Amino acid sequence: MMLIIALACALAAAVSYLSARFAVIPILQRRGVLDHPTARSSHDEPVARGGGIAVFAGLVAGCATALVAQAVSAQGVEPGSEVIRSLLPLAAAALFGLVGLIDDLNSLSAASRLVTQLVLAGAFAVAVLMVTGVGVFATVAVVLSIIVVVNGTNFMDGLNTLVPAWGAGTGLWFGVLALGVGSELLAIATIALTAALAGFLPLNATPARSFLGDVGSYAIGGFLSVGAWVLWSDGAPATALFAPFVIPMFDVLYTLGRRIYRRENLFTAHRTHIYQKLQTAGLSHEQVSAVHLLATGVCVTAALPVLFAAPVYDPLIAVAVWSGLIIGYTAMPTIVSRRQSRKPA
């Protein structure tokens, strides 16, 4: 199994990087699919938007390689529920990514995007219900969580390397959880996502040659949100599954709440996310990404004892750690700004 995972990861990373550098980015540049800098942008030059196409290509290549390798090995692949369950996150990445690609190319209206996302989320909620048996009353929760994670991932994709690094870390964690509950095919898919994002990272590092675009952020959000429900139905603890979403989803919901409170137009571009304030305060794109990755790592670490059913460990301890991190994260822009102001000119 480890050899198959290694093979899938190697191909996923190679396909992601090579297709992005030599095919996807040149095509996007020729077609003029570019993010042009504005007063609210974090970049100074036009950058190709839609590099997530290459990430998805790497993900598919990694998963296909693993399936073929298993089929020709002594293990084989038994068609049935496990295969379908494992392919659900991949299908979510494909369909939500398609919506994002259409938006990258033609700029859909906010209403069109939301309606399409609701339809897709409803379809995947039914699919999750059918193949996992999570219960009919979970349908609304599945729909809401998919919508929040898909759009939240898109909102967080405003700095170089931030979402690719977070998505890679979350995919790796989900792979560990999948192996822990015996979902080997799903483990391959989630770790292949990590490899595909790792392959794209060098092209997204400052100065970025490409952004994920809506196609990439929607695909990542769809994959991880549906994958979390499949893992939960397989027996992975909810605390462990929720851990990597704590910081980014707090940033999104906190910022949204502040904007609603201030009666701002929610459909206008802005730079009021906490991660954006960190960059404005003086941190580089990669430094903000490192802060997020470290905070996510602490959130995951706080949830680790849940996996081992530690007799003296209560999940509320993880919640307490997360709360402390959230407070510190919210205060970080002010702290960084003050430290920067004290530096000699």
pLDDT digit string, tens, across residues 9-53 = 999 999 999 999 999 999 999 999 998 876 566 667 889 999 999
Mean pLDDT confidence for 145-163? 96
Examine the pLDDT at 339 and tell me if it is beyond 90: no
- Extended strands (E) in 19-128: 34-35, 47-49
H or E segment to which residue 211 belongs = strand 210-211
Residue 343 clears pLDDT 80, i.e. is over it: no
pLDDT of 250: 97
Annotated binding site for Mg(2+): 154, 214
State CA 252 to chain mean position distance.
13
Given a contact cutoff of 8 angstroms between Cβ atoms, the answer to whether 152 and 249 are in contact is yes
> Which among 52, 88, 116, 58 has a CA at the least distance from the CA of 228?
88
Residue 210's H or E segment, with its range, is strand 210-211
Quick check: 332 and 278 in contact, CB under 8 A? yes
Q: What is the pLDDT of residue 180?
A: 92
**Which residues are annotated as part of the binding site?**
154, 214
Over residues 293-300, the mean pLDDT reads 96
Give the per-residue pLDDT at 206: 92
The average pLDDT across 86-95 equals 94
Structural contact between residues 188 and 5, judged by C-beta atoms closer than 8 angstroms: yes
How confident is the model over 253-262, as pLDDT tens digits? Answer: 999 999 999 9
Is residue 148 within 8 Å of 229, Cβ to Cβ?
Answer: no
Q: Hey, what amino acid is at 234?
A: D
Would you place residue 311 in the very low, low, confident or very high pLDDT band (cuts 50, 70, 90)? low
pLDDT bucket at 72, cuts 50 / 70 / 90: low
This model's pTM is above 0.85? yes
Whether the pLDDT of residue 76 is over 90: the answer is no
Q: What is the pLDDT of residues 270-288, one digit of tens each?
A: 889 999 999 999 999 999 9
